[in-house]
C-alpha cells in the first residue's frame, strides 16, 4: 500500500515544496514523458539544487582556466583535482563548504565538512596528508558568534584529530556580515602513486554495485537542497538536514578503501556526500555512459521502515559507492569484513542510460542519469546582474579626508589585539598539526603550510586565502588579490605555485547585485590564474549565504576562498618568516604606497567601510614573486614574509615573535606614516639578509628593475620606527597571542 502511494504521480505543489520551480517540474515531465512520482521528484530536487547542479554558476565556471602543465585530472572529471608532483606521485586536493549545516549545528556541521572533503580525496585512492580550513564568523562580541566559533573549531579539531590527518594552516576572519551565516570551508590534500588513481565512473554492464562503510540513517536527508536555501531565524527546524559524523568509522573506511585500491577489484568509486545514494548512482552512471539497477531494500539502514526517498536522499556519513569487477566480489567482502565495515551488494551496472530504483522488487524510480547531472541535462541559467550603487560610492574615497592619528602606537596596539590580525592560537592549538610526522612548518613558521614528501627532495606548500572585505569593495580586483596572495604565500615559503581549488561563497544568485559580485570574482580569478599559470582544478560553489533578518536579505561579504597547492622543488630551500639574528638587514621588496583603502586600520580603527580595494597591479605582483623566487634559489635571504592584513607593522611584528627579536626601521618620507605602517597595498614582501650577502642581494635586485628599500635592521627585542620606541616584542606578543582567546572567554 505504501509503495502504491509512493508511485502516485507528484504534484507541482510537492515539487515546489522540495525546492524545484514550477517550470523545472514541467521540464522533468518532458524528460520522462510522464509525471514523476514523489521519489523521482525528490531525486530531481536534490540533483537540480544549486549545491549539486551549479545551475546558476556553471556558465561562468566554464570561463575559468583549466589547463596547466602539471594537471593529471581536469576540473569536473573526478572527485578532486589531481596534480603531477613528480617522482611518480600525484597530489589530489580540493576545498568545499559546509556553511549551512554549521550555521545550525556548528559542531557536527564542521566535523562532517572535514569528513566529506577527506573522503573526496581517499575515494580517488590518495592518502590524505594535510588539511586546512577557512572560517568566517560574525561580530565577536555577539554571544551567538562565540557559540558558533567554539562549536565549529571543536568539530574540526575533534574530527580531524581522531581521523589522524594534520591541520597545517588556515584563516579565521570576523565581520558582522556573517552574524547569522558563518562560512566553514575545508581543504584536504592527499598523495597517490602514478597509475593508482580510482575513477568515479561506472563501467561494465553486469558488474555488481556495492555500498560500503556505515549504515544509512535519516540524518542529512535533503541536505543538498538545504544548502541551497537562505538561512533564516527558523532554520533550526531543518536540523535533520545536518549530517552526523564518526571520525573513527572514517579512519576504518580510509584504510579499507586504500587497501581495496591496491587490488584489481575496483572499477569505480565515489563518496556519498551531497544527495547521498542519488548523487553517487547518477553521477557514476552518467560518467561511464551506463545505467544501474539499485535495490534500496538491500541498503543497510539504522532505522526501520525507511522510505525509498529517505534512503536515496540520506547524507549519512562515511559511505561509498563501489562498482566491482564481476567475479571479484570476495576481495571486497574480505577487505571490508577485516575492517568491520558494511559491504553490501545493492545493484548492478546495466547497458542502459537509466538508473532504476527498486524497493522489495517494486520499481519506485526510473530516471535517465544524464538528465540529472552537472554538465548533462541539469538546467543551466544565466542570471541578471547589475553593479550595486555602493561600488561607485566606494571609489570616491580620498585618503586626504582621513585624519592621521597623533599616536600611531595606539593604532599598532589596536591592530595587534584585533581578532582579524591577532594570532589564531586559540583555534590552532585545538588542532593536531604534527600527527603523521610530515608537517614541516609547525616549528618553522612559514607563510604557507609545508608537508614533507617522504623519500624525495620535494615538499608540498598549501594555503587558503581570501580577504572578503577586498572582494566586497571590488569583486574583480579583490579576487585577483586572493589568488595573488595565495601564490605569494607559497613563493615566500620556497614553493612554486601549481594549481588552485576554490570555494565560492556568495549570496542569493537571484539577487542581481549578489550575482554581479560572483561574475566579477570569476573574472578576477581567471586573470590572476592565467598570470600565475595556476589552473582551477575544481572546488565548490555555495550560494544563498545570507541572513534573512526581519524579512530582509543581508548577504555575507562575497568570499571566493582560494586553496592553492605549490611544489617546493628542494626542501633545503624552504623559507621561514622569522627574524634570524640581531643585525640582519631588513628590506622591503615592492612599492610603499600612500594607500589605506579597505585596510583593517581604516575599517576598524577609523570605522570607515566605504573604500575601494587596496592598491594592486597584477603585473607588478608577478614580478615581485619572481624576484623572491630568485632570491630564495640563490640563497640571498634568510627570511621572507608577505605584507597583508594589518600592513607592514604587522608583518614585521609577526617576523619578530618567533625568536623575540625586534626591528629598527625608517619610514618613507613620501608616504603618510599611517599608510606606510598600516596600509595594505599589495605586492610587497619583507625579506632579511646578513650583511655578508648584501652586495649580492643588491646586484640581484637591480637586475629585476623592481623598487626595493632598506627599511632598517633586526634588533634584540625593541620595536622602533623613526627612532620612536613602540615597545618591546614580548609586550606585543602577549597581546597578539591572547586577544582572541580573551574575547571568546569574555
Catalytic residues: 51, 98
Backbone dihedral angles phi then psi of residue 179, each to the nearest 5 degrees: -55, -45
Whether the CB-CB separation of 215 and 89 falls below 8 Å is answered with no
Backbone dihedral angles phi then psi of residue 382, each to the nearest 5 degrees: -110, 110
> How many angstroms separate the CA atoms of 320 and 314, rounded?
13
Q: How far apart are the first and last CA of the chain?
A: 58
Write out the three cell numbers for 412.
599598532
Whether the CB-CB separation of 658 and 615 falls below 8 Å is answered with no
Write out the three cell numbers for 603.
575599517
Backbone dihedral angles phi then psi of residue 344, each to the nearest 5 degrees: -115, 135
* HSE value, Cβ hemisphere, 13 Å, CA-based, for 509: 23
Q: The dihedral of CA 174, 105, 244, 506: what is its sign?
A: negative
Q: 3-state class of 266 per DSSP?
A: strand
Backbone dihedral angles phi then psi of residue 195, each to the nearest 5 degrees: 80, 0
Backbone dihedral angles phi then psi of residue 615, each to the nearest 5 degrees: -55, 130
- In this structure, the strands spanning 231-232 and 546-549 are parallel
Whether the CB-CB separation of 358 and 277 falls below 8 Å is answered with no
Whether the CB-CB separation of 636 and 695 falls below 8 Å is answered with no
Whole-Å CA distances, 288 to 205, 291, 353: 10, 8, 10
> How many angstroms separate the CA atoms of 261 and 269, rounded?
10
Q: How many CB atoms lie within 10 A of CB 727?
A: 17
Angle at 317 between CA 316 and CA 319, to 5 degrees: 100
Query: What b/e sequence results for 689-725 when a residue is b if at least 16 CB atoms lie within 10 Å of its CB, and e otherwise?
Result: beeebeeebeebbeebebebbebbbbbebebbbeeee
> How many angstroms separate the CA atoms of 210 and 329, rounded?
9
Cβ contacts of 722 within 8 Å, gap of 6 or more: 665, 666, 667, 673
Question: Cell numbers 605569494 label which residue?
Answer: 488
Give the containing element (helix H, strand E) for 155: helix 143-163
- In this structure, the strands spanning 536-542 and 546-549 are unpaired
Amino acid at each position: 500500500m505504501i509503495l502504491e502511494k509512493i508511485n502516485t504521480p507528484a504534484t507541482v505543489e510537492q515539487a515546489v515544496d522540495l525546492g524545484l520551480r514550477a517550470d523545472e517540474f514541467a521540464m522533468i515531465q518532458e524528460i520522462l514523458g510522464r509525471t514523476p512520482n514523489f521519489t523521482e521528484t525528490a531525486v530531481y530536487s536534490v540533483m537540480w539544487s544549486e549545491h549539486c547542479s551549479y545551475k546558476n554558476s556553471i556558465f561562468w565556471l566554464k570561463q575559468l582556466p583549466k589547463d596547466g602543465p602539471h594537471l593529471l585530472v581536469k576540473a569536473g572529471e573526478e572527485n578532486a583535482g589531481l596534480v603531477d608532483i613528480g617522482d611518480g606521485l600525484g597530489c589530489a586536493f580540493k576545498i568545499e563548504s559546509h556553511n549551512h549545516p554549521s550555521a545550525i549545528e556548528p559542531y557536527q556541521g564542521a566535523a562532517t565538512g572535514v569528513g566529506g572533503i577527506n573522503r573526496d580525496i581517499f575515494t580517488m585512492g590518495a592518502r590524505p596528508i594535510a588539511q586546512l580550513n577557512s572560517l568566517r564568523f560574525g561580530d565577536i562580541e555577539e554571544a551567538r558568534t562565540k557559540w558558533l566559533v567554539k562549536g565549529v573549531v571543536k568539530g574540526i579539531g575533534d574530527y580531524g584529530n581522531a581521523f589522524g590527518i594534520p591541520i597545517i594552516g588556515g584563516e579565521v576572519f570576523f565581520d558582522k556580515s556573517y552574524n547569522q551565516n558563518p562560512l566553514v570551508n575545508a581543504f584536504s590534500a592527499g598523495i597517490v602513486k602514478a597509475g593508482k588513481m580510482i575513477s568515479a565512473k561506472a563501467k561494465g554492464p553486469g558488474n555488481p554495485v556495492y555500498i560500503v562503510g556505515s549504515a544509512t540513517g535519516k540524518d542529512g536527508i535533503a541536505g543538498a537542497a538545504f544548502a541551497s536555501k537562505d538561512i533564516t531565524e527558523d532554520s533550526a527546524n531543518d536540523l535533520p538536514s545536518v549530517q552526523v559524523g564518526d571520525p573513527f568509522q572514517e579512519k576504518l573506511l580510509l584504510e579499507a578503501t586504500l587497501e581495496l585500491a591496491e587490488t584489481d577489484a575496483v572499477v569505480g568509486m565515489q563518496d556519498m556526500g551531497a544527495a547521498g545514494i542519488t548523487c553517487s548512482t547518477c553521477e557514476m552512471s552518467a560518467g561511464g555512459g551506463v545505467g544501474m539497477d539499485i535495490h534500496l531494500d538491500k541498503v543497510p539502514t539504522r532505522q526501520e521502515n525507511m522510505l525509498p526517498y529517505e534512503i536515496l536522499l540520506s547524507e549519512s556519513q562515511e559511505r561509498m559507492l563501489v562498482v566491482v569487477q564481476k567475479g571479484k566480489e570476495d576481495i571486497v567482502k574480505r577487505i571490508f569484513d577485516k575492517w568491520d565495515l558494511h559491504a553490501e551488494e545493492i545493484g548492478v551496472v546495466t547497458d542502459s542510460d537509466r538508473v532504476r530504483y527498486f524497493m522489495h522488487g517494486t520499481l519506485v524510480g526510473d530516471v535517465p542519469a544524464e538528465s540529472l547531472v552537472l554538465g548533462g541535462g541539469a538546467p543551466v541559467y544565466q542570471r541578471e546582474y547589475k553593479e550595486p550603487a555602493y561600488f561607485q560610492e566606494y571609489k570616491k574615497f580620498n585618503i586626504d579626508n582621513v585624519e592621521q592619528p597623533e599616536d600611531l602606537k595606539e593604532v599598532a596596539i589596536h591592530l595587534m589585539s584585533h581578532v582579524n590580525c591577532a594570532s589564531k592560537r586559540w583555534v590552532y592549538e585545538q588542532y593536531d598539526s604534527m600527527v603523521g610526522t610530515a608537517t614541516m612548518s609547525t616549528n618553522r613558521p612559514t607563510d604557507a603550510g609545508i608537508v614533507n614528501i617522504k623519500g624525495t627532495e620535494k615538499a608540498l606548500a598549501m594555503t587558503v586565502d581570501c580577504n572578503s572585505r577586498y572582494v566586497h569593495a571590488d569583486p574583480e580586483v579583490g579576487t585577483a588579490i586572493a589568488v595573488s596572495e595565495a601564490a605569494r604565500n607559497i613563493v615566500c615559503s620556497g614553493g612554486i605555485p601549481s594549481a588552485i581549488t576554490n570555494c565560492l561563497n556568495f549570496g542569493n544568485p537571484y539577487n542581481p547585485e549578489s550575482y554581479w559580485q560572483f561574475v566579477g570574482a570569476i573574472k578576477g580569478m581567471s586573470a590572476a590564474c592565467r598570470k600565475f599559470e595556476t589552473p582551477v582544478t575544481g572546488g565548490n560553489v555555495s550560494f544563498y549565504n545570507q541572513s534573512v533578518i526581519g524579512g530582509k536579505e543581508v548577504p555575507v561579504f562575497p568570499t571566493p576562498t582560494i586553496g592553492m597547492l605549490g611544489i617546493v622543488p628542494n626542501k633545503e630551500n624552504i623559507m621561514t618568516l622569522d627574524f634570524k639574528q640581531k643585525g640582519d638587514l631588513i628590506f622591503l621588496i615592492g612599492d610603499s604606497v600612500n594607500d589605506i583603502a579597505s585596510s583593517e586600520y581604516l575599517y576598524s580603527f577609523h570605522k570607515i567601510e566605504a573604500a575601494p580595494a587596496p592598491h594592486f597591479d597584477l603585473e607588478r605582483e608577478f614580478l615581485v614573486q619572481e624576484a623572491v623566487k630568485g632570491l630564495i634559489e640563490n640563497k640571498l635571504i634568510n627570511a621572507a614574509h608577505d605584507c597583508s592584513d594589518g600592513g607592514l607593522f604587522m608583518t614585521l611584528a609577526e617576523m619578530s615573535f618567533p625568536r623575540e627579536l625586534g626591528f629598527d626601521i625608517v619610514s618613507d618620507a613620501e608616504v603618510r606614516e599611517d599608510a606606510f605602517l598600516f596600509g595594505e597595498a599589495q605586492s610587497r614582501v619583507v625579506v632579511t639578509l646578513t650583511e655578508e650577502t648584501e652586495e649580492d642581494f643588491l646586484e640581484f635586485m637591480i637586475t629585476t628593475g623592481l623598487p626595493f628599500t632598506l627599511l632598517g635592521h633586526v634588533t634584540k627585542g625593541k620595536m622602533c620606527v623613526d627612532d620612536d620606541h613602540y615597545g618591546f616584542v614580548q609586550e606585543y606578543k602577549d597581546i597578539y597571542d591572547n586577544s582572541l582567546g580573551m574575547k571568546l572567554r569574555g
